[in-house]
Amino acid sequence: MSENDQLLRLWANEEVMKFREMVQQDPYRLHYHLMPPVGLLNDPNGLIQFRGVYHVFYQWNPFETAHGAKFWGHYTSKDLIHWREEPIALAPSEWYDRNGCYSGSAVEWEGKLHLFYTGNVKQPDGTRETYQCLAVSEDGVHFEKIGPILYLPEGYTAHFRDPKVWRQGDGWFMILGAQTLKEQGAAVLFYSKDLYEWEEVGRIAGSGLNGLGDFGYMWECPDLIRLNGKDILLVSPQGLDVAGHEYHNLFQSGYFSGAFDAQKLTFDHGPFTELDRGFDFYAPQTFVDESGRTILFGWMGITDEAEQHHPTISNHWVHALTMPRELRYVNGQIYQSPLQEMKMLRKGKVETRLSIDGAEELYPQIAGKSIELLIELVETRGGVFEINFRNSAKLIYDEARDEVSLIRENVKTGKLETRTSKVSSLSAIHVFLDHSSMEIFLDGGKEVFTARYFPNVEDESIVFAGHAVLDVKKWDLQGFE
């Protein structure tokens, strides 16, 4: 390990020691989501189950609650519920990654854990350089940097990053997010026999390919996966215009389904579908665990104007990951559902039938900051009903329009903002609240709304209004510390 590397680790650890307590006592701290010990977290990275242990790495700036030269922070778990903070995996210490060890992925090969990441470099004159780098570990905790294994090919700007690597046949593929010289977003494929020497295959998706028109100026964090016989490209495009209920966040995350031909090296795909309908969801990544499940973590945040207004910043931290979700592909669409393991967090159950008729009603037994609610719609009679979470965010179901909306206050402007999704004949709403986050799964995960919110700390109320008969189950959820 270089001297620079040791110094950066030392300073980062000092920063953690200085502010850990302050973060711990923040009333908006999350209790069953992965968040940074201090500082800013963004994308999940390097997700893998290695020798039975789950590893989650994440983009981390330990020094500020702002973006900067990112480290890879590291958590491990045996059950996806109880997590352990590991030593820093990667620090931005070398000439090829000194302005950030940016996002990437992990594979196991010959008993070793291999991390692929983007070395981000900014020259004093503002020009950017990008290197795809490799780091290897025997024990899954201490990593040796090998250095760049891939340089920027012709035809792209230096916005070229986020390698996702997987094994197929007797070789390896790597897919990267890119911007062409015409400033169009793309996903670019590479091939290797040995993980060290990579040859360019070319663009397999992007603006102007596969019947896709102009589709953003940059694509980040691509992930090509297989679900139920389909090949699916998850990707986070930047620069899409609002269209109806779609694309209201600054940047998007979604997927194209189709067929990847590993011989012809083509990917035929259909239209783009957003993965999440809420306000705070970006740069998701997946991995397949030893039981064969495809599990996704997303960043429960986004680089928008509001992020610097989160009240957690005064306590030296910002952002978190989503809870892990299992992906399935049913009737041409991805479903996301909470993992079975989440049930381990449940304590005390309340079960009741609510008949809501007009005015706002508070059911004192259905309240809390860290709870799971499973709401089955028994009768709605074509009307509207709403659930007000802690007087700070509202979910509204309008049966006649077949729409669900989430409304909250924008932390920057203080104005109400709305996200809406079509849902035909909604039958169930599954809600996970964790102090300052909400994840709402509709009809078994057909649509999901993910959002941060910052209610009055004392307020634990859940208020129902409108017209409906609902069967509600509620569990308190304990933290995983």
Task: Provide, rounded to whole angstroms, the least separation between the CB of residue 219 and ligand FRU.
Answer: 9
In whole angstroms, the minimum distance from the beta carbon of 341 to ligand FRU comes to 26
* 178 scored as a contact of ligand FRU (CB under 6 A): no
Chain-centre distance for alpha carbon 430: 19
Task: Assess 187 for contact with ligand FRU (CB under 6 A).
Answer: no
Cβ 387 to ligand FRU, closest distance in Å?
Answer: 31
User: Does residue number 179 form part of the binding site for ligand FRU (CB under 6 A)?
Assistant: no
Lookup: tokens for 164: 């996702």
Determine, following the binding rule CB under 6 A, whether residue 280 of this chain makes contact with ligand FRU: no
How far apart, in whole angstroms, are the C-alpha atoms of residue 209 and residue 271?
Answer: 12
How far is CA 24 from each of CA 37, 67, 312, 322, rounded to the nearest angstrom? 8, 21, 11, 19
* Residue count, binding to ligand FRU (CB under 6 A): 13
**CB burial readout 348-366, b (16+ within 10 A) else e:** eebeeebebeeeeeebeeb
Binds ligand FRU (CB under 6 A): choice among 35, 175, 283, 406: 283
Q: For residues 255-274, which are near ligand FRU according to CB under 6 A?
A: none
Token pair, residue 180, equals 């062409």
Between 161 and 408, CB nearer to ligand FRU: 161
Exposed, middle or buried: residue 18 (CB in 10 Å: 0-12, 13-18, 19+)? exposed
State yes or no: is 357 an active-site residue: no
Give the sheet arrangement for strand 112-122, strand by strand: 101-109, 112-122, 128-137, 144-151
| Residue 232 CB neighbours (<10 A) | 24
Q: Using CB under 6 A, which residues numbered 11 to 70 contact ligand FRU?
A: 42-43, 59, 70
Q: Among residues 43 and 447, whose Cβ is nearest to ligand FRU?
A: 43
Q: Find the helix or strand (DSSP H, E) in which 14 lies.
A: helix 3-24
For position 312 contacting ligand FRU by CB under 6 A, the verdict is: no
Q: What is the DSSP string of 212-263?
A: -----SEEEEEEEEEETTEEEEEEEEE-PPPBTTB--SSB--EEEEEEEETT
Catalytic residue among 26, 43, 97, 162: 43
**Stretch 103-122 residues interacting with ligand FRU (CB under 6 A):** 103, 118
Q: Which is nearer to ligand FRU, 43 or 326 (CB)?
A: 43
Among 23, 221, 233, 451, binds ligand FRU (CB under 6 A): 221
Question: Rounded to an integer, what distance in angstroms lies between the CA atom of residue 315 and that of residue 313?
Answer: 5
Q: How far is the CB of 283 from ligand FRU (least distance, A)?
A: 4
Bridge partner residues of 371 (DSSP):
433, 476
String marking each residue 69-88 x if it binds ligand FRU according to CB under 6 A:
-x------------------
Q: For residue 444, report the phi and psi dihedrals to the nearest 5 degrees.
A: 70, 25
Q: Applying CB under 6 A, does 97 fall inside the site for ligand FRU?
A: no
161 lies in the site for ligand FRU, by CB under 6 A: yes
> Interface residues with ligand FRU (CB under 6 A)?
42-43, 59, 70, 102-103, 118, 161-162, 220-221, 282-283
Q: Which residues are catalytic?
A: 43
